[in-house]
């Protein structure tokens, strides 16, 4: 079996070196085109490869063709890691520049390769459950300093386990979906009683989403190797946040309505296998985690992340921050191990948010709360525009990629525009 991550591989489809979707990536998504129902596809360059068409023609005999006609990735993910690997290897083979099977079949190419600009992309999987973590030490420290001071920036439990809360799967939406400004109870510090109305301090959170492809049984703890096998892939994730609603509601049980109104994810799921060449060791963990959370392998990734904001009358998004997934203190594998450690059953289709990803520098902060330091240092944009928090009409774009030798494994983008509460 050849290595589909080989940097020397080339596709017969022309792919720009700056494209997110070279032959070394092959991310999965759900698309529709030509009036047909949504089905599974792979991104390659500026095209979508229709997996159902390939399966119908007997070119993708790794599972029943009906799996690729589904409107979500869930049935495919349920087939397990060995099928995931065989499928990726076979698709890589079909797309290679020196493999004639698809390259020289004009009729099949016309059916199976569709320009990405002509298709509609959908939510790639049915979200079974959604959990959001709080695993960037830099982010947690920044927020702690703002609200509790330097001496008490991190809560006593933070260095001992990945902190998280259960979010709402029902409001996870695909990139491009407009986000309505939430309403909620508001109580600024200078008033005696709360009121109800539109959020005034709307924010984004730059995160990665982990897509769980295999279940675990209720009552079962999972090992590091088992947790890794359960991870199908990753998406970009923007966990929109109503900071003023959260400030009033979070004591004593944490976020609730402030995070329940919308979470945006990218339409392409980049597989764990495609990210393998970019693995690296995360930050040193001190104190050493309890035995059930210890890692024998490097489980972080060298993955660049960038945030663009188009505000007011701006014609295009302006980059406002760039950071890296490698800074995460608690890895995705540790998050999953901890999540199941109580006996919590995990399901195929579960989504785990990494938590806001910030780096050590001011230019690497992953939320407006940090960038504007809770509104005291407004972000300055071209044309004299300033932002402490998001306003109606603002559009937020997040991008992410791992840079290889002459190619990049990217995620496309996750975009959302804020509309008025109404």
Same domain? 76 vs 202: no
Same domain? 72 vs 140: no
CATH number at residue 84: 2.30.30.230
Tell me, yes or no, whether 341 lies in a domain: yes
CATH number at residue 415: 3.90.850.10
Tell me, yes or no, whether 19 lies in a domain: no
If you average pLDDT over residues 42-50, what whole number do you get? 98
pLDDT band at 422 (very low <50, low <70, confident <90, very high): confident
Tell me, yes or no, whether 79 lies in a domain: yes
Same domain? 113 vs 227: no
Indicate if the pLDDT at residue 245 is higher than 80: yes
If you average pLDDT over residues 263-290, what whole number do you get? 98
Tell me, yes or no, whether 15 lies in a domain: no
Same domain? 115 vs 153: no
Tell me, yes or no, whether 11 lies in a domain: no
Find the domain containing 70 and state its range. 28-122
Same domain? 180 vs 239: yes
Name the residues annotated as catalytic: 139
Same domain? 275 vs 313: yes
Q: What's the domain count of the chain? A: 2
pLDDT digits (tens, 9 = 90+) for 104-163: 999 999 999 999 999 999 999 999 999 999 999 999 999 999 999 999 999 999 999 999
pLDDT given for residue 313 in this prediction:
85
Residue ending a domain, choose from 67, 96, 122: 122
Indicate if the pLDDT at residue 420 is higher than 70: yes
Residue ending a domain, choose from 80, 104, 122: 122
pLDDT given for residue 1 in this prediction:
62
pLDDT given for residue 142 in this prediction:
96
Q: What is the 3-state secondary structure (H, E, C) of the chain?
A: CCCCCCCCCCECCCCCCCCCCCCCCCCEEEEECCCCCCEEEEEECCEEEEHHHHHHCCCCCCCCHHHHHCCCCHHHHCCCHHHHHHHHHHHHHHHECCCHHHHCCHHHHHHHEEEHHHCEEECCCCCCCEEEECCCHHHHHHHHHHHHCHHHCCCCCCCCCCCEEECCHHHEEECCCCEECCEEEECCCCCCCCEEEECCCEECCEEEEEEECCCCCCCCCCCHHHHHHHEEEEEEEEECEEHHHHHHHCCCCCCCHHHHCCEEECCCEEECCCCHHHEECCCCCCCCCCHHHCCCCCCEECCEEEEEEECCCCCCCEEEEEEEHHHCCCCHHHHHHHHHCCCCCCCCCCEEECCCCCCCCHHHCCCHHHHCCCCCCCEEEHHHEEECCECCCCEEEEEEEEECCCCEEEEEEEEEEEECCC
Tell me, yes or no, whether 14 lies in a domain: no
pLDDT digits (tens, 9 = 90+) for 49-82: 999 999 999 999 899 999 999 999 999 999 999 9
Same domain? 141 vs 96: no
Same domain? 256 vs 375: yes
pLDDT given for residue 2 in this prediction:
82
Same domain? 107 vs 154: no
Same domain? 279 vs 366: yes
Tell me, yes or no, whether 23 lies in a domain: no
Same domain? 42 vs 178: no
pLDDT given for residue 92 in this prediction:
98
Tell me, yes or no, whether 261 lies in a domain: yes
Residue ending a domain, choose from 100, 122, 144: 122
Same domain? 326 vs 220: yes
pLDDT digits (tens, 9 = 90+) for 330-385: 999 999 999 999 999 999 999 999 999 999 999 999 999 999 999 999 999 999 99
pLDDT digits (tens, 9 = 90+) for 253-274: 999 999 999 999 999 999 999 9
Indicate if the pLDDT at residue 312 is higher than 90: no
């Amino acid at each position: 079996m050849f290595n589909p991550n080989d940097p020397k591989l080339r596709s017969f489809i022309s792919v720009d070196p700056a494209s997110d979707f070279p032959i070394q990536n092959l991310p999965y998504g759900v698309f529709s085109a030509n009036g047909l129902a949504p089905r599974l596809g792979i991104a390659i360059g500026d095209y979508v490869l229709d997996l159902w068409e390939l399966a119908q023609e007997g070119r993708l005999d790794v599972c029943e063709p009906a799996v690729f006609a589904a409107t979500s990735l869930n049935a495919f993910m349920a087939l397990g890691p060995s099928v995931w690997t065989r499928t990726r290897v076979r698709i890589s083979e079909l797309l290679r520049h020196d493999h004639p099977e698809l390259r020289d079949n004009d009729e099949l190419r016309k059916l199976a390769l569709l320009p990405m600009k002509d298709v509609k992309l959908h939510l790639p999987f049915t979200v079974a459950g959604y959990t959001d973590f709080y695993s960037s030490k830099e982010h947690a420290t920044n927020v702690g300093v703002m609200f509790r001071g330097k001496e008490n920036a991190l809560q006593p439990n933070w260095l001992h386990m990945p902190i998280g809360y259960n979010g709402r799967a029902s409001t996870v939406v695909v990139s491009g979906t407009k986000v309505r400004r939430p309403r909620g109870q508001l109580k600024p510090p200078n008033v005696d009683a709360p009121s109800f109305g539109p959020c005034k301090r709307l924010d984004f959170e730059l995160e990665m989403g982990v897509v769980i492809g295999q279940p675990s049984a209720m009552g079962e703890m999972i090992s590091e190797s088992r947790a890794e096998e359960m991870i199908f892939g990753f998406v970009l994730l923007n966990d929109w946040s109503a900071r003023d609603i959260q400030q009033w509601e979070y004591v004593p049980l944490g976020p609730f309505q402030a995070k329940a109104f919308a979470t945006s994810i990218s339409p392409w799921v980049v597989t764990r296998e495609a990210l393998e060449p970019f693995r690296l060791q995360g930050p040193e963990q001190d104190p050493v985690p309890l035995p059930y959370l210890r890692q024998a392998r490097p489980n972080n990734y060298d993955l660049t992340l960038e945030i663009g904001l188009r505000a007011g009358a701006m014609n295009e998004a302006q980059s406002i921050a760039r950071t890296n997934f490698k800074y995460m203190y608690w890895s995705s594998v540790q998050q999953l191990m901890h999540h199941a450690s109580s006996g919590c059953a995990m399901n195929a289709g579960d989504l785990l948010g990494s938590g806001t990803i910030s780096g050590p520098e001011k230019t690497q902060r992953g939320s407006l709360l940090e960038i504007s330091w809770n509104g005291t240092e407004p972000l300055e944009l071209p044309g004299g525009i300033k932002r402490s928090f998001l306003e109606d009409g603002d559009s937020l774009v997040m991008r992410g990629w791992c840079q290889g030798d002459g190619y990049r494994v990217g995620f496309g983008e996750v975009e959302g525009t804020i509309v008025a509460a109404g």
